[in-house]
């Protein structure tokens, strides 16, 4: 039986390599990069606004962005409060979003 030595490399704070210890968890972000867009949509509830435009070659990105909004994966667009639709023509794909009070959002 042979013994193998294991050496942990420690940083300047004498912690095991790669570990960072904190006393408290950092706070979660409450807004993202679309916070001002979401605020404008809330002020104009029920009205559609063109939020993003994609080239014809990026049509799939437009549809994907609309899906992300509808699924509530963006912190600024909580699920069930915003509705998105991607509309394509020969020149572009535009993603339209609107804020709807919860009772009015259709699935």
The residue extents of the domains of the chain are 35-102
pLDDT at 5: 62
pLDDT at 65: 98
Q: pTM of the entire structure?
A: 0.69
pLDDT at 6: 57
pLDDT at 101: 77
Q: CA-CA distances (angstroms) from residue 70 to 4, 18, 78, 99, 105?
A: 54, 37, 8, 11, 11
pLDDT at 46: 95
Q: How many CB atoms are closer than 10 A to CB 93?
A: 22
pLDDT at 81: 95
Averages of pLDDT over runs of 10 residues in the chain (107 residues) are 59 66 83 94 97 96 97 94 96 97 58
62-70 contacts at long range (C-beta below 8 A, 24 or more positions apart): 62/86, 62/88, 62/93, 62/94, 62/95, 63/93, 65/95, 66/95, 69/95, 69/97
Strand partners, 62: none
Pick the closest to residue 65 from 78, 76, 51, 79 (CA basis). 51
């Amino acid at each position: 039986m042979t013994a193998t030595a294991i050496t942990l490399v420690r940083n300047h704070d004498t912690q095991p390599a790669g570990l960072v210890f904190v006393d408290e968890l950092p706070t979660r972000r409450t807004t993202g990069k679309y916070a001002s867009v979401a605020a404008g949509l809330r002020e104009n509830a029920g009205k559609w606004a063109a939020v993003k435009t994609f080239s014809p070659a990026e049509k799939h990105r437009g549809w994907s962005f609309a899906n992300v909004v509808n699924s509530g994966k963006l912190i600024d667009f909580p699920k069930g409060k915003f509705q998105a639709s991607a509309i394509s023509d020969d020149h572009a794909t535009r993603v339209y979003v609107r804020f709807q009070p919860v009772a009015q959002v259709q699935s």
